[in-house]
Amino acid sequence: MTPVLPDPDALCAELVRQLQPRVTADTALVGIHTGGVWLAERLHAALGIELPLGLLDISFYRDDFDKAGLHPQIKPTQIPFEVGGRHIVLVDDVLYTGRTVRGAMNELFDYGRPASISLAVLIDRGGRELPVAAQFVGARLDVPPGRMLVLERDENGKLRLKLDA
């Protein structure tokens, strides 16, 4: 049975609504490559955040390096602001096992000691393997284990959720 996939634009608007009251001068957004970056770019513009957008590729912090090796396409991490003392909102497309978020937090701490880290995701699909929770959630969705739920972007910049078999 295939669940009905929601429209990313509507979920994005929902995230903006949830995040808006929390934004201060010390709030910084950090998108996790690749889907999280697309989402974070939109949130960053919609929320009018002053600090530049951070981009994170967690390939050097994955916990399955011994099994899977190095990811074939690594994009440089760019954190163009001081992490120390900042309230950081990590942004990702889909929250599943929680392992990516753990890697992202480890990497962020190598840049400094943030005042806080919270998590915003388009979809929480359950299936957590670590004690990780998102504070800002576009939608919760039951996805059968083993199926891949990913965010895609076409050449016009239109976002779309896709469920692989």
Partner 1 sequence: MRNPQLNDKGELQHLLSIEGLPREMLTHILDTATSFVGVTAREVKKVPLLRGKSVFNLFFEPSTRTRTTFEIAAKRLSADVINLNIAVSSHTKGETLLDTVDNLSAMHADMFVVRHAQSGAPHLIASHVASHLHVVNAGDGRHAHPTQGLLDLYTIRHYKKDFTRLSVAIVGDVLHSRVARSLIHALTVMGTPDLRVIGPMTLIPAGAEKLGVRVYYDLQQGLRDVDVVVMLRLQSERMRGALLPSAQEFFKYYGLTPEKLALAKPDAIVMHPGPMNRGVEIDSAVADGAQAVILPQVTFGIAVRMAVMSILAGN
CA 56 vs. chain centroid, Å, equals 9
Q: Could you write out the DSSP letters of every residue in 99-164?
A: HHHHHHHHHHHTT---SEEEEEEEEE----SSS---SEEEEE----TT-EEEEEE-TT--EEEEEE
77 touches partner 1 by CB under 8 A: yes
The single-letter code of the amino acid at 136 is: F
68 binds partner 1 (CB under 8 A): yes
Bridge partner residues of 124 (DSSP)? 95, 140
Among 110, 144, 150, 160, binds partner 1 (CB under 8 A): 110
Binding of partner 1 by 59 (CB under 8 A)? yes
Q: Is 20 in the site for partner 1 (CB under 8 A)?
A: no
Nearer Cβ to partner 1 (57/92)? 57
- Which of residues 3 and 85 has its CB atom nearest to partner 1 in the complex? 85
- Residue 65's contacts (CB-CB under 8 Å, 6 or more residues apart) are none
Q: Does 53 bind partner 1 (CB under 8 A)?
A: no
Single-letter residue type at 126: G
Residue in 72, 131, 146, 157 binding partner 1, rule: CB under 8 A: 72
The three-state secondary structure class of 70 is coil
Considering the complex, state which of residue 75 and residue 140 has its C-beta at the smaller distance from partner 1. Answer: 75
Nearest approach in angstroms of CB 130 to partner 1 is 16
Q: Which stretch binds partner 1 (CB under 8 A): 8-16, 60-68, 88-96, 117-125?
A: 60-68
Q: Which two tokens stand for residue 52?
A: 């530049």
Query: Which spans of this chain sit near partner 1 (rule: CB under 8 A)?
Result: 57, 59-61, 65-66, 68-70, 72-79, 106-107, 109-112
